[in-house]
Structures are given as C-alpha cells and as structure tokens.
Structure 1
C-alpha cells in the first residue's frame, strides 16, 4: 500500500538484487515481506535469523543512519533488546539510499492478547525508559523529539477536527486547550526513544522482549517517552508505568498533550492507506480522554 506521496518502489526483487550485489552470501536465503503498521521502512525477513529494512521515503534514510550510528552506544545500557545491525547497505543506481540488514527479533507487536500481565509490562517498559534517560548525553548526540506544544497548535487543532468520526472531537479539543496552558520544557535534554508506540514494542513469551525503531532517538524532552502511558497501555499498565517512573505532574500532562498531537495527526493522514494504524491512534485518544 502506498502511504506517502513520492514513496519509493520496494519489493522482493529489489531486495534480492541488492543482496546479490553487496552481500552475496545472503542472496539465496528466503525473503518474506513482513506486514506491519510501520510507516518509515519496508521490512523483509531474510532466512530465519535476519531482516532487511529499506526506507520508504528518501529522507527516511536519515533515520536509518541515526540508528546505525547510535544503537551500539545505547545497547549496553538497556534492559531490553534493541535492534542489532548485521550490515549497512550502500546506495546503488537502482536504490540510491542507505539500507540495512539486522538480526531478526522474534515476537509480535504489543497488544493485549500478547501480554500476560499488563502491569508487569508497564514496569518493564518503565525500567527501559529510566535506563535510557540515564545515559549521559554527549555533545555530538543529535536533537530529538517535537517542537513545544504551542508551536504545534494549528496543525494539531486541524487534525483533531479532521479526525471525526473516529474520535470525540469536542472532548479532544478541550484536552488540547488544557495542554496549551502548560509551559514548555526547559530542563536539560535527555536520551529519548521518542516513538514508544505499540508497533515498536516486540512481545515474546507474554512479555515485552524488545524495543525497535530508533530512527527518532537522540536528546530531547523526556516527556516524549511518557506517551506510551496512553499509546501502549490501558489503566493497569499506565498506573504501573507511572508508579515506576514517578514523573512530575507537569511532565505527565505535557506528555498527554504530545500523545494527543501525535495520534490526531495519524488519523486523517493514514485513514485510507494504513487503517490499522488509525485504529491504534484513535485508541490512544480514547485512553487519554478517559484517564
């Protein structure tokens, strides 16, 4: 499904040709497209132990480059598995963008049916976030996250209005108005993931086993990683997440505003091209309005 104007054409034949040219030892392995709600990379399973990721848009290659640069720095500090690159593919005439081969991570995206204990999942992800935020931010760490809420006002209000009938527009606008009353974040920036949505949490054996998609990682407002409270969890998981992280009330409310902003932009943009992702976004808004 084409989700973006100008989206790159990517299929199994392209993947096999890139492998044959650059990594011939892997070129004869089975290649299977992986269906997901992902909007940044095309994903293919390669044999039993590897995967291939190719950016869907030219600028998405920058996210892949960020991952390849910083994942080795982050991995030793984190209590959950994160992606491990096996090889970086170079641009070619047919596909003039960075691409990469990763170790395959077994499991499935987070949902209620996959999790044994939501409270335990909330605690496990909180431990991951706490460890990530504790990693020292060196000067060369790239900025990450979103602009202050006040600077997102026009786009967010428009998106909320366009998100009917999936959400309660009037209630969402009231929540957005409250979020705009919050002061912007001014404390030192911390390492953040910035996109802890359900598709980026891998569950195996009933527990969160891995966190993926670090294309937006860097130094930013730690409230961006509190979005998971509504985007991932229900009340039990959210309570456990908050209990372990103990965020300041202002940070929690700012995160609620960012969660509303992000989810609202997803709904009108992906309504036709990625309806499963829209369902998740509408669920996020339902959770934050009910909380």
Structure 2
C-alpha cells in the first residue's frame, strides 16, 4: 500500500513475543486479517494483541508515537461506554523488524461491514459513546498537529492533490464546488475530546449494536464535528437522522462533519483504488452519501 512499507513476518513476530515476553511464549500467535493502513495486528492467545507499524520512521519517532497512543488509549478506555483496548506493554526492535511495537488488550467483536447502515439502537449507542467522550476533560489542551480536526482550510493543498489524482475516478468539477462550500464553514464551537476516526474498520458490532471501538490512540481535543463524521460512514438516512437528533447537531456542525468526511474519503479513493479495495469502497460510499445530502 505504501512506498515506505515494512513487511511484518509472522515467524519474526512469534520470535519477538517469545523472547521479549516469555510469559506468552506458549500462546498461539495469529495474524489478524485487516484492511487497516497503519498497523499489522497479531492476536496473542485470548487476551492480548500486538500492533506493528507498517510504515518506516526512526526508532525514536516510533517510540514517541507508541507512548502517546498508549496514554490516549488508556484515557479513552476509561471514558468509553463500550469496550476499548488498554495498553499492556511496548516491545523493542529486533532482527526482522526495525521499530518498537505495542501490546494491548484484545477486544472481541466483528468489524462493521463497509456498507453498514446502523439501526435506531446503533444510533443510540454511537451517540452515547460520542457524548461520553465529549464529557472528558481536555485538561486545557486544544487541537494540535496536521491531521483532521483543526482548521478545515489547512487541508486545501491535500484536497487539491486529491482532485488532480481523481480526474478519471470522480466528478471533480462538482466536488470542487462542494469543497469551496466546506472550506469556508466557520468554526464557533470549542474543542472536545474526540476519537478522530470512527469509521467501519475501527468499530466492532454484535447483533447490530456497537460492541467496541479500536484504534483509540488518537484520542485528543478536536472540532466536535470530527466524531460526528461517523454519521457518513456508519449510518443510513433513517439512522443518521436519529443520530443527529440525539447529538443535537446544529446545521453548522452537521456541515462540518461532511467537510471532515469529504477530506478523508476523497483521499482514500484515489490512493487505495489499486492497493486496498476495502478502503476504496469505504471512501466511495461515504462520498456518495455526502454528495447526495449536500445541495450546492
């Protein structure tokens, strides 16, 4: 998927676990099939999971990421209304894998299908989770970094790159008109604590209900509309209306939720069209929902 990708071999992972965490040496280790784009996941027995970064960076940079994610994941799990991973340990680089790696608790459940449309009950679950996350103290911090959740206009350059790479895939002239609308939406609300990426690959379901949340290491202050964008990835028209009412989203927050979703799924479409069909499909579905619900 990435030019700077790292091949994570199962035999190497088994050896690293046995060497660095002898208590798990006899536990079965199984690679988890995943369409994620940041980590490769291995299950250790019934209780733990190891996460290996799949893009190259320095050892110090990787360690800093893992420490930051561990702290954020612990806070998320403390506040979440559904099960979420808790950090256990950070492993060290070894022969065959050049970076530190993370171990966390295993959360059972089934990844939400890409075409998931939720239900009234799921809408209540999702809104309840986001409400609980928003109630978490930001500790005086605000959004920082270059990802989604700050100033929408900071993403102009990226969106322009997406447009240039999407000429043969999408109706780019119409999408440019949408972006002109989205990028000028004002920001009036204060930052709240946010998961930041509530989309199907990070959501576990059971019997149609929200059963767990994954990839919680980005839990941090951001635009409230950032988690509201889950409406465009996880809900159909009817369940989305219920979700909006439960969160009491005004028109501005609702439009900004489209903007953040637009920025993300526009990139997923061209970047993963050949290398990750699931990410591509997820981006297309969310974009189609946004386009169908935006009159410009």
Same fold by TM-score greater than 0.5? yes
How far 1:152 moved relative to its partner? Answer: 1.3
Q: Does structure 1 retain, via aligned residues, the 8 Å contact 2:73–2:219?
A: no
1:248 is displaced (CA, Å) by 2.3
* Uncovered stretches (5+) of structure 2, i.e. residues with no partner: none
Once the two structures are superposed, the pairs formed by residues 19-38 of structure 1 within 5 Å of their partners are: 19-38=17-36
- Please state if 1:287 is matched with 2:289: yes
TM-score, scaled relative to structure 1? 0.89
- Cα deviation for residue 245 of structure 1 reads 0.5
Instruction: Please report the TM-score for the alignment, with normalisation by the length of structure 2.
Output: 0.88
Q: Are 1:172 and 2:170 matched, yes or no?
A: no
Question: CA, structure 1 residues 242+43, in 2 after alignment: closer, same or farther (shift >3 Å)?
Answer: same
CA distance in 2, matches of 1:173, 1:140: 33
CA–CA distance in 2 between the matches of 1:170 and 1:133? 36
Q: Could you tell me how far apart the structure 2 residues matched to 1:249 and 1:114 are?
A: 24
Cα separation, partners in 2 of 1:158 and 1:94, compared to 1, 3 Å: closer
The answer as to whether partners of 1:167 and 1:285 remain within 8 angstroms in 2 is: no
Report the counterpart of residue 100 of structure 1 in structure 2: 102
Correspondence 1:200-239 to 2 at 5 A? 200-239=202-241
Alignment of 1:63-78 (within 5 A): 63-78=65-80
Counterpart pick for 2:273 among 263, 271, 274? 271
Whether contact under 8 Å (2:159, 2:266) holds in the other structure is yes
Cα distance in 2 for partners of 1:62, 1:264 equals: 29
Residue 42 of structure 1 is matched in structure 2 by 40
Alignment of 1:82-231 (within 5 A): 82-92=84-94, 94-111=96-113, 118-139=119-140, 143=144, 145-146=147-148, 147-183=150-186, 185=187, 187-231=189-233
Tell me the residue number matched to 1:16.
Answer: 14
Would you say 1:245 and 2:239 are equivalent positions? no
Which runs of 5 or more structure 1 residues have no equivalent in the other structure?
none
CA contact (8 A) 1:191 1:220 kept: yes
Cα deviation, residue 89, structure 1:
1.6
- In the alignment, the residues of structure 2 paired with residue 248 and residue 63 of structure 1 have an alpha-carbon distance, to the nearest angstrom, of 35
C-alpha separation between the residues in 1 aligned to 2:252 and 2:291?
17
Kindly report the root-mean-square deviation, in angstroms, between the aligned alpha carbons of the 2 structures.
Answer: 2.3
Number of aligned residues: 287
